[in-house]
Structure 1
């Protein structure tokens, strides 16, 4: 059985190859039982520490990702996320590989975000607002540049020093794009064609009143039913899609809170990522429609990314 660490994952993957592989994987037949997420509150009822298991299979592989999420780890000198993906042969169930799931998570999260943007954003989208300065940020920018001809990217974060450092790294990596530190979040949100939020915010950072007609919004950072990155107005005013309905309706406060308020319903969700990839419902009704994609992560995207890592590693 191969053991593939983060460095091998990073060498094996690229955009847009992973984006294309995930789109093809969601078009094909697959199995994906509901993910199991366990809150590890223990004696501390306010803790958001978690442990999760994500199984999936296609006609080639069976996979299960296990991960821990400890959002306060950084203060103690640890990463917030640790993860491994175990792959088995679909034909006979033989264990094939143990893949670093943390690296895969960064790659597939960015790929799914960009895939949703390719399917839902306006083709002429030229500006992006990115909320969040964590490690995922550089992956998100690279992935979105693979699907849209972005000319300007606004960067926003609570820590101005981190925003400036991110700007410098991204400008060096993508010199043809203008990277701007967002001073006024509302103003930048109103100027952006695509908005991607990947933060640990507990209360809304992004308000529906700020978002212009025709914008596409990706919400990636929250996995808790009592937290959210946007307000109810944005959800109510958008055509809403999700990566997986069952997972989102258990974990995503962005939709669960408006449902509890009585201003939105689960029936208003237009479709899942598989529906978009299979060309089911029309993603965008008009150039002026606001579209919203909420993602909490899927086992299938992990499996497809790990499968591509194994394939490309064996080819080397």
Structure 2
């Protein structure tokens, strides 16, 4: 069985190829039971968690196990630790163990950009990124590979961290103008694509801030009682998700409006796999507000691991 390190993963991957691989993989048959997320401190405000994500396709079976300890951030340590075990579908033999945290960053950003391929306007040039964590550079690189973005606004609670990120990205992507904005409302009103990847427990993005034609991607929250946007944005947008079974079990962005009686799960337009296999339409007008809520899927872990393994052969 191959042991594949984070360094090998970074060398094997680029976003155009990974996004295309995910696009093809989501369009094909796969099975993905509801992932199991266990709160290690139930009944308290501590959000430490352990999760197990299984999936299988025509060629592979995979399971990702990860721990999430958000309190690690305050101690300057990684909050996410993960491994992905890949099996041969024909006879069940384990064939590879991949470092999961780095692969999670790659596949999360690739899924975000893949959804944008179907849901944002093709001529989108202005992107607002909410969040300055480890995922931020991945999200920028992924989105730049699917849309002609020439302007990126970065917002973060820590101004110096946001400024440092903007400076680093400017050195990497010379043709793009990077800036920092402290006023989310002002930045949102002038953006074609808004990507939120924060740990905020309460809304940082509001429906009356978002202009017609905008595509919104929410991927920072995995808690039923928390959310990155308000209910108004959910009710005025065409809502798509990576996985209904997981989003409706975990995401406060949809669960809270459902509890309030202003949104119904039947109003979800569809899943990413349906967009990729063309069984549903994506963006249907230039003026529509589209919204994609992602909590992460086991099939995207499987597909990303498959792509790494086959690239390294």
Alignment partners' CA distance in 2, 1:97 and 1:21: 19
Residue of structure 1 in register with 2:253 after alignment: 254
Partner secondary structure for residue 130 of structure 1: strand
Residue of structure 2 in register with 1:24 after alignment: 24
Alignment partners' CA distance in 1, 2:76 and 2:3: 25
Structure 1: runs of 5+ lacking an equivalent: none
Once the two structures are superposed, what CA deviation does each residue of 1:2-31 show, in whole Å capped at 9, x if it has no partner? 111111111111111110111101111111
Alignment partners' CA distance in 2, 1:282 and 1:30: 20
Alignment partners' CA distance in 1, 2:245 and 2:32: 11
Once the two structures are superposed, what CA deviation does each residue of 1:72-111 show, in whole Å capped at 9, x if it has no partner? 1122342100000001111111111110110110000000
Alignment partners' CA distance in 2, 1:118 and 1:35: 26
Residue of structure 2 in register with 1:3 after alignment: 3
Q: Does 1:134 align with 2:138?
A: no
The root-mean-square deviation of aligned C-alpha atoms, in Å, is 0.8
Alignment partners' CA distance in 2, 1:152 and 1:280: 33
Once the two structures are superposed, what CA deviation does each residue of 1:3-61 show, in whole Å capped at 9, x if it has no partner? 1111111111111111011110111111111111111115x611111111001111111
Partner secondary structure for residue 16 of structure 1: helix
Partner secondary structure for residue 53 of structure 2: strand
Structure 2: runs of 5+ lacking an equivalent: none
TM-score by length of 2: 0.99
Residue of structure 1 in register with 2:81 after alignment: 82
Residue of structure 2 in register with 1:201 after alignment: 200
Residue of structure 2 in register with 1:165 after alignment: 164
Alignment partners' CA distance in 1, 2:88 and 2:265: 36
Retained in 1: the 8 A contact 2:228–2:253? yes
Residue of structure 2 in register with 1:269 after alignment: 268
Partner secondary structure for residue 15 of structure 2: coil
TM-score by length of 1: 0.98
Once the two structures are superposed, what CA deviation does each residue of 1:271-291 show, in whole Å capped at 9, x if it has no partner? 000111111222122110000
Residue of structure 1 in register with 2:118 after alignment: 119
Question: Aligned ranges for residues 84-233 of structure 1 at < 5 Å?
Answer: 84-233=83-232
Q: Does 1:61 align with 2:60?
A: yes
Retained in 1: the 8 A contact 2:30–2:58? yes
Residue of structure 1 in register with 2:286 after alignment: 287
Distance apart, 1:313 and its partner CA:
1.4
Q: Which 4+ residue blocks in structure 1 deviate beyond 2 angstroms? A: none
Q: Does 1:72 align with 2:71?
A: yes
Retained in 1: the 8 A contact 2:156–2:182? no
Alignment partners' CA distance in 1, 2:145 and 2:270: 24
